[in-house]
Amino acid sequence: MKDFIIKDKTVIFKKIAIALFWIGIWQMAYWIIGRDIYVPSPFSVSVALYKLVQAPSFWKTVFFSIYRVAVGLLLSIVLGVIFGIVAGLHSLFYEVMRPMMSAIKSTPVISFIIIALLWFSSTNVPIFICFLLCFPIVWTNIVAGIHTVDPKLLEMAKIYRVEPLAILRHIYLPSIMPYFSAAVLTAFGLGWKVSVTAEVLSHPKNAIGSNLHSAKAYLDTPALFAWTLVVIVLSILFESFFAIWIKGKRRDA
């Protein structure tokens, strides 16, 4: 128990040291450039962040941005899993879906955002973009997970007439889960990036991206950095909570 506590403290101190190192690099960049409009100091960004957090509108803005990202991610995960399973089990459906997945991956995000601005309201544009960009990641990984299933296990299951639900649970799911976990972790990071980008261009009410655009328009660089830090922290929290949940599920299994 004592060794575990010492090891835990060592990890914490290591992370703090790494964080202080990069803050030091940031401070040096501020001293070298010497202009807040280009690179504000860590202190001025901290002050700006403190002022943001104190405002009631900040939490409302964060809530609605989280809502848009969560809806987009949920849609991409649910539909990505469903379509991925079907594509993994049926080669014809896979061949039909593959060109669309390739097209989505190769098309610039800005093109989709401009098209979405014609189709949806400013509030729904970030949701659509998050879904559209994260869906291929989930779909591809689920298909890859199904294709790694050992054919001999499937043949054995057929010989012993194992029920389809049992095959799905005991043969397919163990193969899919590592790919699913990797897909969702990647989607969390990408989802925040593309959603905030869509908010910057679509200007929905109560959105982090809208505040980023306003800070840039008014040349308020400390606020711009502060909002960027908010996005980074939220993205890390989303990924961390999911990683903890996955570890808990693996222990239970």
Task: Identify whether the C-beta of residue 142 lies closer than 8 Å to the C-beta of residue 116.
Answer: no
- Residue 156: both structure tokens together: 């054995």
Residues making up the chain, counted from first to last: 253
Cα–Cα nearest to 239, from 89, 67, 73, 62: 73
- What pLDDT, on a 0 to 100 scale, did the predictor assign at position 4? 45
Cβ–Cβ < 8 Å for 36, 220: no
**CA of 87: how far to CAs of 133, 143, 185, in Å?**
18, 6, 22
Residue 198: name the closest of 76, 84, 101, 108 by CA. 108
Per-10-residue mean pLDDT, the chain, length 253: 55 80 86 82 88 88 90 92 88 88 87 90 89 91 84 69 68 79 85 88 87 86 90 84 68 55
Q: What are the residue boundaries of the structural domains of the chain, listed by start?
A: 1-34, 40-252
- Maximum Cα interatomic distance, the chain, rounded to a whole number of Å: 74
Nearest Cα to Cα of residue 198 among 113, 108, 104? 113
Pinpoint the alpha helices (H) of the chain: 2-33, 42-54, 56-89, 91-106, 109-119, 125-147, 151-159, 164-167, 173-202, 208-217, 221-252
Q: Is residue 248 within 8 Å of residue 242, measured between CB atoms?
A: no
Please check whether the domain covering 40-252 is classified as CATH 3.40.50.300.
no
Distance, CA of 246 to CA of 27 (rounded, Å): 37
- The pair of three-digit structure tokens given for residue 94, joined into one six-digit string: 């896979």
Closest to 226 in 3D by CA, of 58, 65, 45: 45
Instruction: Give the Cα-Cα-Cα angle 113, 114, 117 (nearest 5 degrees).
Output: 85
